[in-house]
Amino acid sequence: MPSQVEPEALRTAMSRFPTAVTVVTAIGPSGPAGATANAVASLSLEPPMMLACLDLGSRTLVAVEHGRAFGINVLAAGQAELARRFSTKDPHPQKWDGVRWGERAGVPMIHGALVWLACELREVHDGGDHVIATGPVIELEATDGDPLIFHRGEYQPLAAATPPSSRPAGPAAR
């Protein structure tokens, strides 16, 4: 059955779905590439695998396929500027200008990111106007701190959850 849903309706509906914000990175033929991405998830624990959905027009996808590897950098609360910068179509050297990063396990690792994962590119599945890149996690680093959140089209800090002691008692509290 053909979809009755307009792309803009899906975009608006899913803007209610808060997500963390990552920069997916790779080393392409002419250096580091990176795209802001929230369509990222852990896929498998045994073996450890991740997935990243990349637009068919993403230059970072070209770099991922070139390097056969991708990095996932989960941004910290104070890194909204990086999220904005990596969501542009600026030339890649310009995107990376002034960014503190290093190459590890064949992918760029952005300094100050909350979590960094290096993945080997295993498969690229069709996903409409995106592809789903999957692969095993080769290395990771995780630090404590607050993530950057994308909600209703804006970057926001994580709002504090209501502490359990101040929640009204109910079936869920038993």
Ligand X SMILES: Cc1cc2nc3c(=O)[nH]c(=O)nc-3n(C[C@H](O)[C@H](O)[C@H](O)COP(=O)(O)O)c2cc1C
Using CB under 6 A, pick the residue from 38, 65, 99, 115 that binds ligand X: 38
Single out the residue of 49, 54, 69, 114 in contact with ligand X (rule: CB under 6 A).
Answer: 54
List binders of ligand X among 124-143 (CB under 6 A): 130
| Nearer Cβ to ligand X (118/130) | 130
Only segment of 51-59, 65-73, 132-140, 158-166 that touches ligand X (CB under 6 A): 51-59
Tell me, letter by letter, the H, E, C secondary structure of the chain.
CCCCCCHHHHHHHHCCCCEECEEEEEEECCEEEEEEECCEEEEECCCCEEEEEEECCCHHHHHHHHHCEEEEEECECCCHHHHHHHCCCCCHHHHHCCCCEEEECCEEEECCCCEEEEEECCEEEEECCEEEEEEEEEEEEECCCCEEEEECCEEEECCCCCCHHHCCCCHHHC
Does residue 15 bind ligand X (CB under 6 A)?
A: no
Count of residues interacting with ligand X (CB under 6 A)? 18
Q: Which spans of this chain sit near ligand X (rule: CB under 6 A)? A: 21, 33, 35-39, 53-55, 58-60, 87-89, 130, 150
